[in-house]
């Protein structure tokens, strides 16, 4: 499983813990992200997109719900994803 | 179509509240004093709580019921409203069917007292969803979270329980005498803490909606507090201002829960993207 998939899956699961199925719905609104009902994530990057951009779009989507509180949930989710990721690979919103 | 259904739930809440308000105003200021009318009103206005509870259960399913923090919060508040209605019905049963003065404690206290843990359950999960666990990482906020509830608990103790006379033959009465004022302070202090600690971190579509729920808990507390003060001074009367305060609190909580329905959240999200 790709690093980005693992991170996004962790974010979706953490957001699901807050708002339930709406979290999956919102993730599926992000271009290139597909989350099945059982929570499995598949990210398909377009040529014009990047992992950073996808992650940013997803976090911004959740930010619309609870503001900074949602962003903090995403940060926690990344920490708990168990994936080593360089700060440079993360969008500014998560720094 | 779904928009009409969504707005219907709010409209129905307003219709129930307005009708009951009109009835209360007639009883209090127009019709001649009649204890039967007062008692009938007191037995009926719980329908507002019942409606709010049903709306809450219905809307909680879209949040995955107990599988999410928001679902748990809505279920907690709905069960609280339902418990209040149970208390109202049980009290009315004593008055109408048994024709006796309501004993204390009675089966009605299962509802009234039972609503306290349900509200606490709801507000704790709402607090978590609002991100107060992130605010609590700061020591100053941790101190605030200890000091404010403690002050409220002490205030409540000195107002209601300072001169309490213990009758050890009535352990249940003692438990309720302490449990009501202190338990009610717990839910309102968590609500106040949630407001204070999430003020900076909570934003987005849910900010106002969550603050309305916290406001509803404060209105509920004002009704509970007034009841305790009036009962202590032995001036509480059925169908008077305190009953209307309860009706108002059920209405505000109903509106708060209806506002959390996911269809509205979804449409607000689509407006923003």
Identify which of A17, A25, A64 has the shortest CB distance to residue B204.
Answer: A64
User: What residue segments make up the domains of chain B, in order of their start?
Assistant: 2-269
Structure ipTM:
0.94
pLDDT at B2 over 60: no
Distance from CA of A67 to the nearest CA of B (A): 4
Are the beta carbons of A66 and B266 separated by less than 8 Å?
no
Are the beta carbons of B203 and A63 separated by less than 8 Å?
yes
* B interface test, pick of A67, A72, A76, A79 with most B CB neighbours within 10 Å: A67
Q: What is the pLDDT of residues B223-249, one digit of tens each?
A: 999 999 999 899 999 899 999 999 999
User: What residue segments make up the domains of chain A, in order of their start?
Assistant: 3-94
Q: What band does B14 get if pLDDT is binned at 50, 70 and 90? A: very high
Identify which of B70, B134, B269 has the shortest CB distance to residue A18.
Answer: B70
A57 touches chain B (CB under 8 A): no
| pTM of the shown model | 0.94
Question: What are the structure tokens assigned to A59, written together?
Answer: 């976090």
Q: What is the pLDDT of residues A24-71, one digit of tens each?
A: 999 999 998 999 877 788 888 777 778 899 999 999 999 999 999 999
- CA–centroid distance for B263 within its chain: 24
B233 touches chain A (CB under 8 A): no
* Residue B35 burial (CB count, 10 A): 11
The reported pLDDT for the residue numbered B6 is 56
* A interface test, pick of B129, B137, B268, B273 with most A CB neighbours within 10 Å: B129
A93 touches chain B (CB under 8 A): no
Q: What is the pLDDT of residues B170-197, one digit of tens each?
A: 999 999 999 999 999 999 999 999 999 9
For the segment B195-204, the average pLDDT, to the nearest whole number, is 96
The reported pLDDT for the residue numbered A1 is 60
pLDDT at B100 over 90: no
Within 8 A of B198 by CB-CB distance, chain A residues are: 69
For the segment A79-83, the average pLDDT, to the nearest whole number, is 93
Question: What are the structure tokens assigned to B174, written together?
Answer: 């003692």
């Amino acid at each position: 499983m790709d690093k980005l998939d693992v991170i996004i899956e962790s974010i979706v699961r953490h957001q699901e813990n807050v708002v339930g199925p709406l979290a999956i719905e919102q993730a599926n609104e992000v271009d290139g992200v597909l989350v099945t009902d059982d929570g499995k994530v598949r990210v398909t990057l377009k040529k014009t997109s990047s992992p950073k951009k996808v992650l940013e779009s997803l976090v911004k989507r959740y930010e619309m719900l609870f503001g900074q509180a949602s962003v903090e949930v995403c940060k926690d989710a990344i920490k708990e994803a168990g994936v080593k990721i360089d700060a440079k690979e993360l969008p500014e919103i998560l720094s | 179509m779904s928009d009409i259904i969504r707005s219907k739930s709010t409209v129905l809440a307003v219709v129930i509240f307005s009708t009951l308000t009109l009835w209360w105003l007639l009883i209090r200021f127009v019709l001649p004093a009649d204890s039967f009318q007062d008692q009938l009103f007191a037995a009926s206005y719980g329908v507002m709580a019942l409606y709010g509870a049903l709306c809450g259960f219905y809307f909680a399913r879209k949040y995955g019921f107990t599988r999410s923090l928001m679902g748990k919060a809505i279920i907690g508040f709905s069960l609280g409203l339902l418990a209040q209605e149970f208390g109202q019905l049980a009290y009315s049963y004593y008055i109408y069917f048994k024709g006796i003065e309501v004993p204390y404690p009675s089966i009605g206290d299962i509802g009234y007292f039972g609503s306290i843990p349900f509200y606490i359950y709801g507000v704790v999960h709402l607090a978590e969803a609002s991100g107060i666990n992130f605010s609590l990482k700061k020591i100053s906020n941790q101190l605030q979270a200890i000091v404010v509830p403690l002050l409220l608990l002490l205030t409540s103790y000195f107002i209601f329980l300072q001169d309490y006379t213990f009758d050890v033959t009535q352990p249940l009465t003692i438990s309720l005498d302490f449990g009501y004022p202190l338990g009610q302070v717990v839910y309102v202090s968590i609500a106040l803490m949630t407001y204070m600690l999430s003020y900076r971190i909570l934003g987005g579509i849910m900010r106002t909606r969550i603050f309305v729920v916290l406001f509803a808990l404060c209105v509920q507390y004002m009704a509970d507090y007034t009841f305790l003060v009036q009962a202590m001074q032995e001036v509480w009367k059925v169908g008077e201002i305190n009953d209307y305060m309860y009706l108002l609190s059920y209405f505000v909580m109903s509106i708060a829960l209806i506002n959390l329905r996911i269809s509205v959240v979804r449409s607000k999200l689509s407006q923003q993207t």
